[in-house]
Structure 1
Amino acid sequence: MKTTVKELMQESGVAFGTSGARGLVSAMTDRVCYGYTAGFLGYMTEQGEFAPGGEVALAGDLRPSTPRILAACARAVRDMGGIPVFCGYVPTPALALFAFARGIPSLMVTGSHIPADRNGIKFYRSAGEVLKEDEAGMSRQVVDLGEDRFGADGMLAIPETLPAVTDVEDAYVRRYIDHFGAGALSGKRVGVYQHSAVGRDVLARILTELGAEIELLGRSETFVPVDTEAIRPEDVVLAREWAAQYGFDAIVSTDGDSDRPLIADETGKWLRGDVLGILCSARVGATSVVTPVSSNTAVEKSGLFGAVVRTRIGSPYVISAMQGELAAGSAVVVGYEANGGFLLGSAIPGKTEGSATRALPTRDAVLPMLAVLTAPAPSVSAQLADLPQRFTFSDRVTPFPPEASARLFGELSAGDEAAQLALQSKLFAEFAGEAVAIDRTDGLRATFAKGGVIHLRGSGNAPELRCYTESESEAEAVALNASAVKAIRALLGLD
């Protein structure tokens, strides 16, 4: 049976967005995952990046559904004439580092931070992420799903065994040892919040090899959906308790596939990812910084960088803009997102003699946390105090089905700009004041005369509405967010 990937998407409900294919585990049958992988490799064949006999690297996170999905993807690789190279259960950037160095396509089975009843597949070309312009090429691919390859339940009729694991961790660890230098963390005491992150052990190894004294915290054998952009209240409490108990210099963690960092200061206060991005950008000597429109405006106000470029939310948009900065001749190009993921677009010198830290144009959790931990400052909080004092906060409305999102943005976008500003002012006047500017780069971002910012955006990965706020104090940003969410729920009659 032949079908297109687009038809498979529509049939299954497993959508393809800025983070690859994602959907409910019940919808991500072997047949669907096989079809997506075959379509990806068909497109890679067109691009001259795959041919029969070629290798394809695979890895996954620690969700219960991941091994089954990996097996279906491996079968598709074999049936397309390729050689699956199984890299084990490792961080997404570790897989990418290996595959980019080898010049081969790769895929990561992960749902990142979303709950365990969902999963996904991230696809990588031989030198970088699949970008938005690649989606149409993948979607039109015709894939042969066979007549007897799958059972009535959509699962493989004959089970697939994954190959033996190819080690990619050693090179990943060496990247950071060479860049920061042996002993760079000597004298530092660091808590490692492990939960169910796939990189929990390799992160502990990196910190130890750099000389830190570590304490392992909160390990879970059940998947925990830690979102670095919407930190759970229980994780806020845990970090403060651990900091008080152990006297750490910092606490570090990552999301599920370990491509986004979480770092808390010596008091156990989690840093916002966009502030972490500013600190890391400065530490690597960035000349051009690319970041989504939702990120903290302290990056411009700091005056530290020659150019700051704003994009839509999602690493493919950030990477595209980074490529533009590189083409324009900028010396050190980086990108970061509000969720903390940091992208290195240029090679930079390492501390180990003769070493150079290669560009890694995909989200990386380890570089930004180590950049902060090794900074010549008395504490993490001292580094924050040196930045312009703008504060961001984000939350989400769940469940928030697509039809509610369409209704909300339909109302907020009605009429000309003057009408939209008037509606924003009316909706949020009691706590934000008059709306003075609107940015539609991604969703709807309004700036208010009192200095606050409210940015609304429907999630492309889950049935939820994202609300980002910015103000001159942390308390104001949090309060502004809560008030905005309450107003939206009232507008749509969700209470």
Structure 2
Amino acid sequence: MKLFGSSGTRGVAGEQLTPEFVLRVAKAAGTVWETDRAVVARDTRTTGEMFTNAAASGLASVGTDVDRLGVAPTPAVVRYCDAESIPAVLITASHNPPEYNGVKLVGADGVELPVHRLEKIEEHILAEEFAVAAWDSVGTTRRVDSANRDYVDEMLATVDRDTIADANLTVALDPGHGAGVLTSPDFYRELGCKVITVNAQPDGHFPGRQPEPVEKNLSDLGRLVRVSEADVGIAHDGDADRAIFFDEHGQYIEGDTSLAALAASQLDAGDTTVAAVNVSQRLVDVCDDVGADLQLTPIGSTNIITRIRELWADGATIPIAGEGNGGIFFPNYRLVRDGGFIGAKFLELVAERPASEVVSPYTDYHNVRVNLTYETETELDAMLDAAAAYAAEADAEPNTKDGYRLDYGDAWVLVRPSGTEPKVRIYAEARDADRAETLAEEARDALETARP
């Protein structure tokens, strides 16, 4: 696909992503969907209202009525789609920096569109083939204010509310000025937790921290956990489909570590889990221990969702899936990454023992991540050619499902282009920190040397 990547389409607002483009996406989606009603919603970014206006206009122009949800987390939007059996144009750039925005398309079943449906919409965008309605058949717009509350109510009815409430937990929460500000504080309080917050005002400038919930952006949350003596810290990204944690000592918990801990609590022998090609050995170990099958996909929620659906068709049982960036699926609940729900499932574990003990069996690996930015396609091609040459010369068989992954037994390294930003990402993992650093540095040197 030329326009849609691993999680929709994204770009710098006003440059790669324009209102005209969003209008065309919405017109094409409405044409392909052939629905009389659809949803438009957004996260808190400053350009969100501009792009939702364009999306609503595009849908209306092909005769589709529009339910406008305003600012809502991605999981609240997909719940609304499923409940109402209507699709959505969701304006969000998730974890990307504030200047970015994006478009994510959700089906009437409340699941992000699979690749073949995105390809069909992309064909209409590129060919500019739209089923434009006559003047007396254009769509109308209405405001819907209940989506966020309904989403919280459904989570409250699904998680183990009594166990969490009985534990008297204190939660330090950092929604990162994103859409989760409107749902997660109330949700965790209604679970019976004492909730203290930082960066809990909706603000598309993201003044307190960058939207991506990685360690370097979450120092305020770590301090809040320590000062307040909270039992756990929880952080979201811009659209609240991720959850990253701190333990009771204010120590950052790697996303791969919390995924492994949650997987160990969910998986039984004969189950299947799905993860991306940058999967940590932590999850591999869990699957080996319990006798579960691990299926790998290219990176990105769309690819994981597609593989889950394929496995379901073959009768597989998949209680958990996801990536080590805090984006975890509980498919038996809903086929979406849901930061609020992920946090609650982790609280169920913390209610029984401290967070540090929950994750301690999965902390023996060290991860390194390097991002190399590029400005031109020529520069990207040169780095990818260098990655191919580096992989061919390595003392390991490369996995080319998504980029180049080299497994050495005691460690691994992966080089791949980002699907959402102009970056080539390098991931490395090993039990020894120096070994992980060395693998990442060797890969980076190979790519940097090849720049034009």
TM-score (norm 2): 0.88
- Change in Cα spacing, 1:140 to 1:204, as seen in structure 2 (3 Å) is same
Q: 1:463 aligns with which of 402, 405, 422?
A: 422
Aligned equivalent of 2:146: 167
Aligned equivalent of 1:137: 120
Looking at structure 2, the residues matched to 337 and 483 of structure 1 have their Cα atoms a distance apart, in angstroms, of 23
Give the deviation of 1:200 after TM superposition: 1.7
Give the deviation of 1:342 after TM superposition: 1.6
Quick check: 1:261–1:368 contact (8 Å CA) kept in 2?
A: yes
Give the deviation of 1:313 after TM superposition: 0.5
For 2:348, the aligned partner's letter is T
Looking at structure 2, the residues matched to 190 and 20 of structure 1 have their Cα atoms a distance apart, in angstroms, of 32
Q: 2:238 aligns with which of 256, 277, 294?
A: 256
Give the deviation of 1:399 after TM superposition: 4.4
Q: Deviations over 1:7-52 (max 9, x none)?
A: xx7xxxxx3212212222113333211111111122222xxxx2xx
Aligned equivalent of 2:199: 218
- Change in Cα spacing, 1:85 to 1:293, as seen in structure 2 (3 Å) is same
Looking at structure 2, the residues matched to 315 and 380 of structure 1 have their Cα atoms a distance apart, in angstroms, of 27
Looking at structure 2, the residues matched to 374 and 490 of structure 1 have their Cα atoms a distance apart, in angstroms, of 45
Give the deviation of 1:206 after TM superposition: 0.7
Quick check: 2:234–2:246 contact (8 Å CA) kept in 1?
A: yes
Aligned equivalent of 1:292: 276
Aligned equivalent of 1:227: 212
Give the deviation of 1:341 after TM superposition: 1.1
Q: Deviations over 1:357-397 (max 9, x none)?
A: xx321221122222121115421111112237334332312
Matched, 1:265 2:250: no
Quick check: 1:343–1:363 contact (8 Å CA) kept in 2?
A: yes
1:199 counterpart SS class: helix
Structure 2: runs of 5+ lacking an equivalent: none
Quick check: 1:94–1:168 contact (8 Å CA) kept in 2?
A: yes
1:22 counterpart SS class: strand
2:117 counterpart SS class: helix
For 1:185, the aligned partner's letter is I
- Change in Cα spacing, 1:387 to 1:233, as seen in structure 2 (3 Å) is closer
For 1:343, the aligned partner's letter is F
Looking at structure 2, the residues matched to 318 and 90 of structure 1 have their Cα atoms a distance apart, in angstroms, of 23
Aligned equivalent of 1:34: 23
Q: 1:82 aligns with which of 64, 77, 99?
A: 64
Q: Deviations over 1:47-102 (max 9, x none)?
A: xxx2xxx2201210111100011011111121211110111201001100110122
Quick check: 2:222–2:252 contact (8 Å CA) kept in 1?
A: no
Aligned equivalent of 1:341: 327
For 1:335, the aligned partner's letter is A
Return 309-318 or 22-31, whichever deviates more. Answer: 22-31
Q: 1:246 aligns with which of 228, 232, 238?
A: 228
Give the deviation of 1:260 after TM superposition: 1.2
For 1:463, the aligned partner's letter is P
For 1:134, the aligned partner's letter is R
2:275 counterpart SS class: strand
For 1:445, the aligned partner's letter is R
1:140 counterpart SS class: helix
Looking at structure 1, the residues matched to 346 and 210 of structure 2 have their Cα atoms a distance apart, in angstroms, of 25
Quick check: 1:105–1:126 contact (8 Å CA) kept in 2?
A: yes
Q: 2:445 aligns with which of 467, 482, 487?
A: 487
Give the deviation of 1:485 after TM superposition: 5.9
Quick check: 1:61–1:89 contact (8 Å CA) kept in 2?
A: yes
Give the deviation of 1:119 after TM superposition: 0.8
Q: 1:445 aligns with which of 405, 423, 442?
A: 405
- Change in Cα spacing, 1:161 to 1:39, as seen in structure 2 (3 Å) is closer
Give the deviation of 1:284 after TM superposition: 3.7
Q: Deviations over 1:121-157 (max 9, x none)?
A: 10011112112222321122134599xx9xxxxxxxx
1:319 counterpart SS class: helix
Q: 1:315 aligns with which of 269, 286, 301?
A: 301
Q: Deviations over 1:226-285 (max 9, x none)?
A: 223xx25242x3233223211111111110011111211112222222332232233344
Give the deviation of 1:167 after TM superposition: 1.1
Quick check: 1:401–1:464 contact (8 Å CA) kept in 2?
A: no
Looking at structure 1, the residues matched to 211 and 182 of structure 2 have their Cα atoms a distance apart, in angstroms, of 17
Aligned equivalent of 1:361: 335
Aligned equivalent of 1:352: none
Looking at structure 2, the residues matched to 138 and 394 of structure 1 have their Cα atoms a distance apart, in angstroms, of 34
Give the deviation of 1:493 after TM superposition: 5.2
- Change in Cα spacing, 1:309 to 1:125, as seen in structure 2 (3 Å) is same
Aligned equivalent of 1:156: none
For the aligned residue pairs, the C-alpha RMSD in angstroms reads: 2.6
TM-score (norm 1): 0.80
Aligned equivalent of 1:207: 188
Identity %: 19
Aligned equivalent of 2:7: 19
- Change in Cα spacing, 1:493 to 1:123, as seen in structure 2 (3 Å) is closer
Return 455-464 or 241-250, whichever deviates more. Answer: 241-250
For 2:283, the aligned partner's letter is V
Q: 1:385 aligns with which of 360, 371, 394?
A: 360
Looking at structure 2, the residues matched to 439 and 225 of structure 1 have their Cα atoms a distance apart, in angstroms, of 32
For 1:311, the aligned partner's letter is T
- Change in Cα spacing, 1:448 to 1:386, as seen in structure 2 (3 Å) is closer
Looking at structure 2, the residues matched to 277 and 319 of structure 1 have their Cα atoms a distance apart, in angstroms, of 17
For 1:196, the aligned partner's letter is H
Looking at structure 2, the residues matched to 200 and 329 of structure 1 have their Cα atoms a distance apart, in angstroms, of 38
Looking at structure 1, the residues matched to 314 and 367 of structure 2 have their Cα atoms a distance apart, in angstroms, of 31
Looking at structure 2, the residues matched to 210 and 64 of structure 1 have their Cα atoms a distance apart, in angstroms, of 31
Q: Deviations over 1:434-478 (max 9, x none)?
A: x323111110111236x22111111121111111111114x3476
Quick check: 1:454–1:484 contact (8 Å CA) kept in 2?
A: no
For 1:136, the aligned partner's letter is E
